[in-house]
Amino acid sequence: MKPVKKKKTEEPELEPLCCCEYIDRNGEKNHVAACLCDCQDLDEGCDRWLTCKSLRPETCERITDTISDRLRIPWLRGAKKVNISIVPPLVLLPVFLHVASWHFLLGVVVLTSLPMLALWYYYLTHRRKEQTLFFLSLGLFSLGYMYYVFLREVVPQGRVGPAQLALLTFGLFLILLALYRAKKNPGYLSNPACNDKSPSNSQIECPAKKGQEKTKGFPGTDTSGSLNNRALKDDVRGSSRAGLDSPAKAKEDWCAKCQLVRPARAWHCRICGICVRRMDHHCVWINSCVGESNHQAFILALSVFLLTSVYGISLTLSTICRDRSLFTALFYCPGVYASYSSALSFTCVWYSVIITAGMAYIFLIQLINISYNVTEREVQQALRQKTGRRLLCGLIVDTGQYNRGFLRNWLQFSTLGTRTVHTLAEDIV
């Protein structure tokens, strides 16, 4: 008698998600309509708020995590999560600008408080070393909203010609194109433990996921593997330190978080969690680092933005404040609050002036650093260690380490990202 073959038990297939369903952070199926249901932390927070009691910090963090997890939009094959930091600029910026256009004093208060709120949020996220899309959302939405107000309130008055409108639109397109290029890989140093050679945004957490096992070796190794890896790391560190004595070799350093040897002028970004070649700084406006591969695109985006912004401001002021020079119209434009359309346009002009002034300062600092062949990270380190030469009340900091003269410094900057990529940091394990 032939033995009966047992049929393999087939695992039940998971039901496909509809456009409004998703898997929450607890691994359970949830629905977009139930975004505020079954949240004990939120109920407790509301009860304590109604009874005028203070909330515990851990309760606030759990409420924030729950809201950020349930804030989703319907999408094909499941609702997609929306980063909560994108939402405030989309809601608050139009409200603040419309309130500021009601009266001159309201405009002064609102336009003064906006930079302060942005700086407060920047220092809050910078202190926590967290990535945020707030400033990227604010920048992109400001561009779109200023262009919308220009088309709706300024162009219908007939003072802007088709060629001027086309030139302004072309400048806006160039800004977006340069920002897209600046958002690309700034020159990440690949982790030998990762399979892919060029890490993307999703792979940035591979070297060190929020301080993942700082004393251990690469992910997936056991205790013995960690010990061997640590010993190998010490050997590599010793060989790299020995190589420092040779003047022909560039200075290199071992990064314990990324488990690799950094070439000269590379640095580990605490916010992105990865090392970047010739790292200048972490820019919150593009939510990425500025390094060897995207520094030129960053400078291009700043220059195009400044030119386009000044051109748009001049077109708007020449329309709502006629027969006056641009500088005079900016500070004295009688009758501008007589109509809501001109008041809103004037408020948007002053908002654009504030943003443009901030970006012009960043652009000036970048031009000075490039002229002296220093990065912002090297400037901050020289100021802390008091090793740099300060000029013009600290506006210029010359470390003297890589300065080869004005023309040679700019020539080197123009060739960034074109030289052959070093293989030492990627090959050493």
Instruction: Return the closest-CA partner of residue 85 out of 39, 35, 146, 138.
Output: 138
With beta carbons less than 8 A apart as the criterion, state whether 63 and 6 touch. no
283 is catalytic: yes
- Take residue 30 and report the two structure tokens written for it: 């949830």
Give dist(CA 287, CA 85) in Å, integer: 12
Give dist(CA 369, CA 397) in Å, integer: 8
Catalytic residue among 272, 283, 289, 348: 283
Backbone angles phi, psi at 355, to 5 degrees: -65, -40
Give dist(CA 308, CA 43) in Å, integer: 49
What positions carry a catalytic annotation? 283
